[in-house]
Amino acid sequence: MNGIRTRNVTAAAAAAAVLAGLVTAAGPAAAAAGPTACSPAVELLPALPGLSGGAVAGFGTGGLVVGASGDRPAYWTGAEHTVHAVPLPAGFDRGSVKAVSAKGLMVGTATRDADRATIAFTHQKGAATSEALTAPVAHEVSVDINESGRIVAVDHGVAKEWVNGRVVRELSAPADAIPGTEVTSLTGINKRGDIVGTASGSYFDAENDIEVTKTFPVVWPAGGGYPPYSLEVWNGYHSSFATIGRDIDDRGRVVGLEDYYYRNDPKLTPAVWKKPYDALPADPGRVKGYGHLEFNGSSPTTNVAVGTATAFEESYATSFQAVYWPGTGAPLALPFPAGAPGGVPLSRAFAATDDDRVGGTVIDRETRAGSAVIWTCASGQAYAP
């Protein structure tokens, strides 16, 4: 992508109200020098007229940034981050752009308020309309596109890859999966075309009188010449555990999390898998003050992963912190904007670039005012609390 390559994420949350402009970052001393010359800053992006809040979900070429403004799909251009609305597919009320190719082909998701139906859609930058990609379903949809324009998503229960608007292959569950396994989401595709997603299966074991359930990440190698990989999980075969793959970088490294929930006792554990995918995932640790962490996205080649640290009290999430992990050592926190009102804000990180930018959202916990946000020279701002 002309030297500015990025991996997106599919999980992007909208904030509540906009804080427009460019704000210098405030926080402890830098953890490390960035990979390229840059100026550390926290850039708060403007919202569409009449809307507030938003999130950055991905980066394109030439300064293009994609995500959501309020609950509408949007993108930003230029040094001033001019905001542009992305038209929703006909009949849909809200949504978000999730990723963009090198030629400006965007993918996103849209929801219809009348029946809560959700689809994935495509939009070519500059076009007057957006086009539905998948059939409406009554649950969350994930979609991704790589820089060459290959798109992946699950369409009404069938995992698919599209090129130039045409389905070029369907992705099946691994042969070693338990009975009843289906692909439930496709969340990442790298430059080469390797795909990561998540599969889930369940069956009743009559001999032991138990329900067996396993939710686990899968990698489908580019081109379909090799069978998919079932990635190892720490805990399986019980519905309380779901291990999820969120993104895959150009080296094939997968980042995600183990999501545990049982009797109001949540636990989010960050997970990292490396090729040849024959070992349990690595857990890089936590950010001080937060007992939980999930990875949402990664840079293409610089080994960076980003995500969200969470603090729970009695099963309720009470605080969120955007996280930067350089690939070694402990995960680090990203700073809040200088002079943020209302005490300590909340933040999440969703996407990272090779030129050391991170995109996400920041929200004031008291006023609920928030903004789509970019941390520039992120490695120079990340710190250990």
CATH class in words for 6-380: mainly beta
Summary mean pLDDT of the chain: 89
The structure's pTM equals 0.90
Q: The tokens 């390229």 sit on which residue?
A: 36
pLDDT digit string, tens, across residues 11-57: 333 333 323 332 333 343 334 444 446 889 999 999 999 998 999 99
Q: Is 224 exposed, middle or buried (0-12, 13-18, 19+ CB in 10 A)?
A: middle
DSSP type of residue 222 = G
Cis, peptide link before residue 341, omega less than 30° from 0: no
For residue 343, name the pLDDT band (cuts at 50, 70, 90): low
- Whats the size of the chain, residue-wise? 385
Mean pLDDT over 72-78 rounds to 97
Say which range, 33-37, 94-98, 175-179, 318-322, has the weakest mean pLDDT: 33-37
Rounded to the nearest 5°, which phi and psi values hold at 223? 85, -15
The answer to whether residue 326 scores a pLDDT higher than 80 is yes
Question: How far is Cα of residue 121 from the mean position of the Cα atoms in its chain?
Answer: 17
